[in-house]
């Protein structure tokens, strides 16, 4: 069968798509030119403590402070995850510095991710500073780490050193195929600041493309690992997911926010108990579709083809 010269390879199509649609190539700087006191900078639907009766009883300004500090953490998390987690792995792949070689076209795709993610971090910090200057409100002390960093650290101690690069790479593949859902879920709700919505939409466009690239990264990496290597990694992935989706850092920061709006220790405990339910991953799966989304992603990339790995996921009630 001859090659259809009219159909460019996937790598060429991806490059053309990146040149046309990547936010760093096609979007202007998002400038915050004004702000109404009636606007909020972070979706209420994504911050449940803002809806609790003890918070709403404190009035409009208190809720605004909750949402503003939530924005700061959201943007800071973006900057951290892009530069400290995703780009560390992307740089290793692009420079062919992993123990397992990647095809040249896939390394080129990952290089576009590296460029995008650095820009996303810049946009996040730039927008945070614009908001700080406009509102006159400084961020609280932000968490020095991320849930995914903690999850990776917890997983690495369970693996031999030679598999650490593979675990880090798979962690990024998972993160890039879950962050898209997180961004899509930041809906354009009434009263949400337009510039925030534009910043978030730009990011979402790029992440949709990234999730496809990192799906190919995972498929390739999984194909070159031995059966024993796959199993060593696969059987710890349920625990990794539990750590990655753990909300303890968010809970700690929410407690700090609530203290700034004048809630007592007892009131803070009440709000947190109502909005941060203690639950295992199987239970969390029933309330957040991101769990099934990640498991489906792993299945589609061949991770669950192995019966030992599949049995581990079944034991954890993830399939």
Question: Residue 129: which CATH number?
Answer: 1.10.620.20
Terminal-to-terminal C-alpha distance of the chain: 40
CA-CA distance, 237 to 219, in Å (whole number)? 16
Q: Tell whether 11 is covered by a domain.
A: no
Residue 206 lies in a domain: yes
Look at residue 235 and tell me if it is in a domain. Answer: yes
pTM: 0.90
Number of domains the chain contains: 1
Average pLDDT over residues 40-50: 92
Residue 15 lies inside a defined structural domain of this protein = no
**pLDDT higher than threshold 70 for residue 229:** yes
Q: Which residue has the tokens 């060593």?
A: 232
Weakest-pLDDT range from 35-44, 82-91, 144-153, 257-266: 35-44
User: In angstroms, rounded to a whole number, what is the distance separating the alpha carbons of residues 272 and 70?
Assistant: 15
Mean pLDDT for 233-242 is 97
Average pLDDT for 88-107: 96
In a domain, 5, yes or no: no
Tens-place pLDDT, residues 117-134: 999 999 999 999 999 999
Residue 177 falls inside a structural domain: yes
Residue 5, pLDDT > 60, answer: no
The stretch 42-48 carries a mean pLDDT of 91
Does any domain span residue 287?
yes
Cβ atoms within 10 Å, residue 257: 25
Q: At 106, is the pLDDT very low, low, confident or very high (cuts 50, 70, 90)?
A: very high
- Residue 303's domain comprises 39-315
Residue 122 to residue 256: CA distance in whole angstroms: 26
* Continuous segment of H or E residues that includes residue 90: helix 87-94
Q: Examine residue 265 and state whether it is found in any structural domain, yes or no.
A: yes
Which of the two residues, 258 and 14, has the higher pLDDT score? 258
**What does the radius of gyration of the chain's CA atoms come to, in whole angstroms?**
21
């Amino acid at each position: 069968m001859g090659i259809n010269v009219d159909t460019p390879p996937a790598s060429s199509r991806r490059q053309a798509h990146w040149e046309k649609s990547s936010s760093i190539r096609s979007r202007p700087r998002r400038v915050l030119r004004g702000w109404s006191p009636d606007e909020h900078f972070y979706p209420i639907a994504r911050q449940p403590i803002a809806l609790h009766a003890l918070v709403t009883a404190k009035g409009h300004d208190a809720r605004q402070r909750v949402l503003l500090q939530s924005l700061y953490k959201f943007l800071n998390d973006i900057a951290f995850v892009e530069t400290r987690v995703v780009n560390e792995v992307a740089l290793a792949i692009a420079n062919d510095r992993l123990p397992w070689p990647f095809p040249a076209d896939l390394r080129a795709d990952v290089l576009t991710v590296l460029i995008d993610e650095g820009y996303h971090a810049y946009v996040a910090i730039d927008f945070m500073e614009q908001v700080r200057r406009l509102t006159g409100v400084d961020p609280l002390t932000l968490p020095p780490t991320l849930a995914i960093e903690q999850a990776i650290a917890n997983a690495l101690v369970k693996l031999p050193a030679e598999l650490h690069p593979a675990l880090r790479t798979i962690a990024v593949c998972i993160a890039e195929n879950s962050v898209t859902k997180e961004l899509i879920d930041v809906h354009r709700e009434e009263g949400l600041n337009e510039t925030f919505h534009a910043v978030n939409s730009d990011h979402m466009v790029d992440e949709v493309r990234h999730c496809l690239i990192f799906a190919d990264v995972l498929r390739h990496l999984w194909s070159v690992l031995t059966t024993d290597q796959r199993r060593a990694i696969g059987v710890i992935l349920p625990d990794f997911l539990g750590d990655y989706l753990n909300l303890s850092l968010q809970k700690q920061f929410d407690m700090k926010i609530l203290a700034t709006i004048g809630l007592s220790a007892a009131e803070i405990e009440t709000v947190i108990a109502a909005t941060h339910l203690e639950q295992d991953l199987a239970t969390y799966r029933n309330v957040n579709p991101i769990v099934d989304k990640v498991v489906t992603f792993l299945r589609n990339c061949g991770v669950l083809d192995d019966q030992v790995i599949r049995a581990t996921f079944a034991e954890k009630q993830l399939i």
